[in-house]
A and B are shown apart, each in its own frame.
Chain A
Amino acid sequence: MSVLVNKDSKVIVQGFTGKEGSFHAEQMIAYGTNVVGGVTPGKGGQSHLEKPVFNTVKDAVDATGADVSILFVPPAFAADSIMEAADAGIKVIVCITEGIPVADMVKAKPYAVKRGVTLIGPNCPGVITADEAKVGIMPGFVFKKGNIGIVSKSGTLTYEAADQICKAGMGITTAIGIGGDPIIGTTTKEAVALLMNDPETHGIVMIGEIGGQLEAEAGQWIKAHGTKPVVGFIAGETAPAGRTMGHAGAIVGGAEDTAQAKKAILRDCGVHVVDSPADIGSKMAELFSK
């Protein structure tokens, strides 16, 4: 078991022949991900990285039975590509692209949701199920197989957490990078719920940051439905109000979306919150040594 992607996932790459798409598709294939082809409009019929290229997602799905798509499409065209994949029947869409206009995501997200699609991202590192499938841009070697799931808004902080977990003698089931934009497909709560319901996952690391209400919402859900220990970290305690900190969604608008407020809510909900990101691995190890 695992969530979202596994060794049987048939993955296509949208924006396959571009620089980013090519580089990461190659890395994904090297990891062992079952990449069955890619889409670049106008290059259908060609072959790239020894995989077929299609003009449309529909063509790719018809020919390969693909059920997962990863997007490396430039921001101006990314929302359109999300909707194309949803329309073609792709079940899990992972959008790596950073910089998509909010107005585009306001339309693309409900379009995907209405078609029963699980959208991950945008502006995320993707999803990895250790030793099975890497559908993202993360360094695969950091994620050793184990029983801890990770949900995170941040890329490098996900790698940091995975590294600490592995160095503490544990390992990873699936790590889900949900993304740092104001509108993202799969929320913190939804990602945590997936891992909570995965029998192979025994504990969850949840990494959030300033801005929005996703962590608080996840906390309430954990309080009501949680069955496994959750270690939480919220980045940005020292971030000033009203300034965007790198991620488009990382901005303190009011008292309730500060790191302090989120940590307090998570603690109330029974999440094991660490104040230092250096303590994520040791905290999880401590919970399992009891």
Chain B
Amino acid sequence: MNLHEYQGKDILASYGVRVQRGKVASSPEEAVEAAKAMTEETGTQWYVVKAQVHAGGRGKGGGVKLAKNLEEVKARATDIIGMQLVTPQTSKEGKKVHQVLIAEDVYYPGESETEEYYMSILLDRAAGRNMIMYSPEGGMDIEAVAEHSPEKIFTESIDPSVGLQDFQARRIAFNLGLSGVAFKEMVVFVKSLMAAYQGIDASLFEINPVLKTSDNKIMAVDAKVALDGNGLFRHPELAALRDFREEDPTEVKADQAGLNFVKLDGNVGCMVNGAGLAMATMDIIKMAGGNPANFLDVGGTANAERVEKAFRIILEDRNVKAILVNIFGGIVRCDRVAQGIVDAYASIGEIPVPIIVRLQGTNAAEAKKLIDESGLKVYSAIQLKEAADLVKELVG
């Protein structure tokens, strides 16, 4: 589950991580009030107006603007709120901006030059441990850094039995070339960041940039925070931060129906039991000359109710020209699933696209008979190969 920048920063601050302060606003008027409040709280004279959407590269799409007075705050907020923000990480249509963060200006002049660093915490799958990844090359795309100067990316592996140690935090600060006050600030920053990561069951922190201000403070200017969905049961207050407006409405509906669904942009819908077989089924559709319209795992209990819900969700997509149902019945009996399909068909009424049903496993033959004798416009198959050939025949 992804959070907005302002939500992530609030959490980090609660763990003692210094962050660029800001207030969130949903209208230009609120933005002006937020700016006034920021000046009162921080003394800032300039402001940064930042679009709050779940996508990186917001600055490149015009979603982050400097405002030097309250009139400019209002003008920038008016421009950004409601816009379709297109960034390198969004679709061509972009994402609608509902809120902006009015943040303090932290690039003020002072005793030293400002510096930008990169820092993330994530799972190192190969090692089965969390790691801190960091670089003195901050403020830019880390993939680009990895490409042209991989020697500038450092990692620190965290031993789960003892957690982050002080020497590791010091090593990070030294590798970033820090000394004096800024060095001490960085050690505290790293330790607080790790405490936050573990405290909220995060799956990713990406702080880009981490800023050394001209007066040697270390702070998070941006915060990408993702939570481990499996850990949310421990944090109901964080689960409540989910912003459904950032997600595909069909996916939200599927999620509420307990279906594992990902919307894609092809023409053949599919309904499968099991995630691996679902991906494999998508691949079969592609090989047969179609394109998968979705990923959908109906799970172990493919009964009539779930099958009906799944059909309805797939049919919301007007691009769908055919549906492939692929069930390997183990514990779940194929004839039950077949009956579910027949019932769902009757309940939905006219399904305007051809359906290919492949049922294999327990009672597969009975299931095929049930489908074939139902009088419905359903093509049945038992072997995976036959199902693939049917897809080819219908859409290839």
How far, in whole Å, are A238 and B282 apart by their CA atoms in the complex? 6
- Chain B proximity of A21: nearest CB distance (Å): 14
Which B residues are CB-close (under 8 A) to A105? 128
In the complex, B148 has a CB within 8 A of chain A: no
- Chain B proximity of A189: nearest CB distance (Å): 11
B361 touches A155 (CB 8 A): no
Stretch with Cβ within 8 A of B (4 or more), from A5-13, A94-102, A222-230:
A94-102
Which A residues are CB-close (under 8 A) to B283? 235-238, 259, 275-277
- Chain A proximity of B257: nearest CB distance (Å): 15
In the complex, A54 has a CB within 8 A of chain B: no
Q: Using a CB-CB cutoff of 8 Å, which residues 273-327 of chain B contact chain A?
A: 273-280, 282-287, 291-292, 295, 297
Q: Using a CB-CB cutoff of 8 Å, which residues 164-222 of chain A contact chain B?
A: 164, 180, 182-183, 207, 209-213, 217
A101 touches B201 (CB 8 A): yes
Q: B232: nearest residue on chain A (CB-CB)?
A: A101
In the complex, B120 has a CB within 8 A of chain A: no
In the complex, A65 has a CB within 8 A of chain B: no
Most chain B Cβ neighbours within 10 Å, of A75, A155, A213, A259: A155
In the complex, B144 has a CB within 8 A of chain A: no
Which B residues are CB-close (under 8 A) to A248? 229-230
How far, in whole Å, are A110 and B126 apart by their CA atoms in the complex? 13
Most chain B Cβ neighbours within 10 Å, of A102, A211, A233: A102
Stretch with Cβ within 8 A of B (4 or more), from A34-42, A45-53, A137-145, A264-272:
A137-145
In the complex, B244 has a CB within 8 A of chain A: no
- Chain B proximity of A68: nearest CB distance (Å): 21
B264 touches A154 (CB 8 A): no
Out of B129, B262, B291, B360, which one reaches A245, CB within 8 Å?
B262
Chain B 323-365 per-residue mask, 1 if CB under 8 angstroms from chain A, else 0? 0000011110000000000000000000000000000111000
Out of A141, A152, A243, A275, which one reaches B276, CB within 8 Å?
A152
Q: B291: nearest residue on chain A (CB-CB)?
A: A238
How far, in whole Å, are A164 and B383 apart by their CA atoms in the complex? 9
In the complex, A61 has a CB within 8 A of chain B: no
A160 touches B277 (CB 8 A): yes
B279 touches A159 (CB 8 A): no
How far, in whole Å, are A248 and B330 apart by their CA atoms in the complex? 22
B201 touches A139 (CB 8 A): no
In the complex, B171 has a CB within 8 A of chain A: no
Chain B 360-396 per-residue mask, 1 if CB under 8 angstroms from chain A, else 0? 1110000000000000000000011100100000000
Out of A109, A233, A246, A276, which one reaches B260, CB within 8 Å?
A246
Out of B262, B266, B276, B286, which one reaches A207, CB within 8 Å?
B276
A163 touches B361 (CB 8 A): yes
Given known contacts A152-B276, A248-B230, is B297 in contact with A212 (CB within 8 Å)?
no
Which A residues are CB-close (under 8 A) to B295? 239, 245-246
Q: B388: nearest residue on chain A (CB-CB)?
A: A278
Which positions in A face B, CB cutoff 8 Å? 27, 75-76, 99-103, 105-107, 109-110, 137-139, 141-142, 152-160, 163-164, 180, 182-183, 207, 209-213, 217, 233, 235-240, 243-250, 259, 275-278
Question: Contacts A155-B274, A164-B384 given; 7 further ones with Cβ under 8 A?
Answer: A102-B123, A142-B361, A180-B276, A238-B279, A238-B292, A240-B262, A240-B264
A-B interface, 8 closest residue pairs, ranked by CB to CB distance from nearest: A154-B276, A246-B275, A156-B274, A139-B330, A101-B231, A235-B279, A157-B276, A278-B384
- 11 A–B contacts from the bound complex (CB under 8 Å): A103-B198, A106-B129, A107-B161, A110-B161, A139-B329, A154-B276, A159-B330, A213-B125, A240-B264, A248-B230, A250-B275
